[in-house]
Structure 1
Amino acid sequence: MVTNLLTASHQWRNRPADERFTTVEDLKNAVMNRRSISYEGVVEVQKLSISPGKDAITLAYDHQHLDVTHWSFNQLCQLAGAPASYLRTLPGDLVAQNLNYALPGTRQRAKLLLTVNGSTEVRAFTSESYGRIWDIDVVRAVEGLCERNPSWHNPPAYKRKDSDGREMENAGLYASDRDIFLFLIDEDHHIEVGKEVLSRGFFIWNSEVGKSSFGLTTFLYRYVCGNHIVWGAHEVKEIRIKHSLNAPARAFSEIIPALSRYIESSANVETQTMKKAMEYRPARDKEGTIDWLQKNGFTKAVSEKAFDYAVKEEGNGTSLWNIVQGLSAMARDKTHIDQRVDLERQAGRLLDSV
């Protein structure tokens, strides 16, 4: 299935200037500095004391004063079972009264992410089982892979609307107090699919504070325009890891190795694999294809839909390439991320059979 990816364009359009970086090294330095003043701790939520402060409220725990960010205030309100959007409309003393009333009713312990830089600020309230993947570890891993494979780089984009003309600048690298997002491409090693000449790219993202999962999207594409829309994307594959207790271990046993294989793989090998998949026909008709898919671990219902999707998207459902495209198209129609990722993984494994 051929599609256009808008994820990087959304990032480019919506990130303010202080969240934008021109090189991976600049991004690394920013998140490394933040990591150097960051600490974790566990608190008894009901023992937190809330007082009015210069920014609405301030916290006290074990005689220590703590400030909150916009994001951590949301999470604190969630722990208290109070609507953050409503509390933000109230003066600080009423906010404190509401939270002091609600918090003693919870028995939860919370893991805090703190930054200490003059004052102590809470960046996140998460569960004790939250598996924090540090932004700096992700960025360092990407930087190391790009140093070994220098053809990979972040693509240029139009300068933001506050500058005139269509001048270009390096873009695609972002970090805020809530998350990071990286968009890199390799335009030097092309992959031929039929009559098309494609390049490779990926997105990788993370949140230290619970805003999002840790994830990787890889894809082939025709071109990237100045507003970072990825046009003509093929073979879009995605892996996501929730920040559960074992998330850090999984991140560096699953996602980073997958990215390493993708970056360091030969474009010629990928081209040959795709050509073989286009030529290979596991069956001659729909019934045979469905039977073959069932033998490879798919249910009959999924197999039937995959064939129909392949016909709709690619014109027929008998080549392995078209079958995989049909499964990928099915996956993108799934509402739940876990189901989508599982189906795409199964589809990707079929290519290993050629």
Structure 2
Amino acid sequence: MSVLTAARSELFSRPQDEHFPDFRSLTVDASQQKLRCVEVDAKDTSIEFDDDGQHVRFGDQLLRLTHFCLGQLAALCRVPMPVLKRLEGATRAQVLNQTFPRTKRYKVGLVDGDRLRCVTSDRYERVWDADILQEVDRWLLPSGFIPAMPTINTDVYGTNALGTTKPALFRGDRDMFAFFYGDQQPGDDGFGGLRKGVMVFNSEVGAKSFGFSTFWFREMCANFLIWNPTDIKAQRARHMGSVRELVRAFRKELMGLGATITDAELDVFQRAKETRFVSAGPDEDVRAAQRVQRGFRLSAADAREAVELVRDPLNPGDFTVWGVVNGLTSAAKGPIHAADRAARSELAGRVMELVR
């Protein structure tokens, strides 16, 4: 593959999230990028796309577009990315230059070396990954939480079923997702070994903004269930004025969060085990798939996959609320990006709300 073809492919496909081996390497990566990045102002009348279709002149600088930034600018131009992908570089640049809105206002670019990571308005308030991880290091880790392993350990070295010893710490050009759970091995609790956890996500470029949620980890099958049965709610905010308030709320939640599972929390899981998702019968799998599809807005194919996984040997095997939840969380292991996995796990949390 030529360099030009490789660059073109990278520009039109989202890079895979980097998977970090430990918390320190994640924080170092985030901190170093924060130090490298600078914000550059440019009037939109001075923004011009280069003839190769992969660079943009932003003020006085010629910068290489990232996949996310190209998507941002294409949206401003109202040109679909699949259309741009089919065009040669010079034609692509011509289309973008002709359709880019020029209102004589300033845009703020986030620059990392020679790359333009994103373009925002002057109202944008960036929350850095490094600052979020600093709060985790200060408040969450000392409270008995550690980075969560996403699948079952298969040997004494901690190698999991996917052949990696890396915990669920993900960071890419678009966003960061980090999962932490209690450091104590769960006993025989009747639910496959539950641990309480906290998921933190942030996007320095504005893709998903900042937020956090509790989750539950089932040791037997290594499923993540993003949901909380008590009073801590999933929270998120765009990187505008309200995001600072949410960061303060995040700090407060971390200060008071404990890793121990309470009896009240276990009672909710017990109700999920005892409550049928659909009535028993020879076609219960069909009816379960239909309810998941219609009631929770999942595609027919994804609903069928989740229902089939209910009967995975590591899952409960019956069409109770708890069984369907584990089918959904098992299916959530498939997507390659942490953001997509989290969205699938949050869907399982909505099913758990049936018994709350």
Q: Which of the five TM-score ranges fits, normalised by the shorter chain?
A: 0.5 to 0.7
Q: Choose 28-37 or 212-221, whichever is displaced more.
A: 212-221
State how 1:237-276 maps to structure 2 within 5 Å: 238-262=233-257, 265=258, 267=260, 271=262
Deviation at 1:247, TM superposition (A): 4.1
| Equivalent of residue 178 in structure 1, options 168, 174, 179 | 174
Deviation at 1:29, TM superposition (A): 0.8
For structure 1, the residue ranges without an aligned partner over 5 or more in a row are 1-13, 279-311, 315-327, 334-339, 341-346, 348-354
Q: Which amino acid is the alignment partner of residue 332 of structure 1?
A: R
Is 1:132 equivalent to 2:144 in the alignment? no
Structure having the larger proportion of residues in strand: 1
Is 1:60 equivalent to 2:78 in the alignment? no
The structure that has the greater radius of gyration is 1
CA contact (8 A) 1:222 1:233 kept: no
Q: Which residue of 2 aligns with 1:218?
A: 214
If asked which structure has higher relative contact order (CA below 8 Å, sep 6+), I would say: 1
CA contact (8 A) 1:46 1:105 kept: yes
State how 1:4-15 maps to structure 2 within 5 Å: none
Deviation at 1:217, TM superposition (A): 1.6
CA contact (8 A) 1:23 1:173 kept: yes
Aligned length: 264
Deviation at 1:245, TM superposition (A): 1.9
State how 1:228-239 maps to structure 2 within 5 Å: 228-230=222-224, 235=229, 238-239=233-234
| Equivalent of residue 113 in structure 1, options 97, 110, 113 | 110
Q: Residues of 2 paired with 1:232 and 1:65: CA distance?
A: 42
Is 1:78 equivalent to 2:85 in the alignment? no
Counterpart secondary structure, 1:52: coil
- Please give the per-residue CA displacement for 1:89-129, whole angstroms capped at 9, x wherever unaligned: 1111111111221225445532211112xxx3210012332
CA contact (8 A) 1:66 1:122 kept: yes
Deviation at 1:224, TM superposition (A): 5.6
Is 1:153 equivalent to 2:150 in the alignment? no
CA contact (8 A) 1:75 1:126 kept: no
Q: Residues of 2 paired with 1:156 and 1:64: CA distance?
A: 42
| Equivalent of residue 142 in structure 1, options 123, 136, 143 | 136
Is 1:48 equivalent to 2:43 in the alignment? no
Is 1:87 equivalent to 2:84 in the alignment? yes
Q: Which amino acid is the alignment partner of residue 241 of structure 2?
A: N
Is 1:27 equivalent to 2:26 in the alignment? yes
Deviation at 1:170, TM superposition (A): 2.7
Is 1:207 equivalent to 2:207 in the alignment? no
Q: Which residue of 2 aligns with 1:188?
A: 184
Over 3 Å counting, the alpha-carbon distance change for 1:272 and 1:75 in structure 2 is same
Q: Which amino acid is the alignment partner of residue 145 of structure 1?
A: W
Over 3 Å counting, the alpha-carbon distance change for 1:193 and 1:100 in structure 2 is same
Over 3 Å counting, the alpha-carbon distance change for 1:196 and 1:59 in structure 2 is closer
Counterpart secondary structure, 1:208: coil
TM-score (norm 2): 0.61
Over 3 Å counting, the alpha-carbon distance change for 1:111 and 1:70 in structure 2 is same
Q: Which amino acid is the alignment partner of residue 223 of structure 2?
A: I
Over 3 Å counting, the alpha-carbon distance change for 1:170 and 1:66 in structure 2 is closer
Query: How much is the aligned-residue C-alpha RMSD, in angstroms?
Result: 4.1
CA contact (8 A) 2:150 2:223 kept: no
Over 3 Å counting, the alpha-carbon distance change for 1:231 and 1:128 in structure 2 is closer
Q: Residues of 2 paired with 1:107 and 1:127: CA distance?
A: 13
Deviation at 1:66, TM superposition (A): 1.8
Q: Residues of 2 paired with 1:15 and 1:50: CA distance?
A: 22
CA contact (8 A) 1:223 1:230 kept: no
Over 3 Å counting, the alpha-carbon distance change for 1:26 and 1:76 in structure 2 is same
- Please give the per-residue CA displacement for 1:3-61, whole angstroms capped at 9, x wherever unaligned: xxxxxxxxxxx984x701111101111111111111123322232122213xx332223
TM-score (norm 1): 0.61
State how 1:269-348 maps to structure 2 within 5 Å: 271=262, 332=350
- Please give the per-residue CA displacement for 1:128-154, whole angstroms capped at 9, x wherever unaligned: 322211111112222223442355332
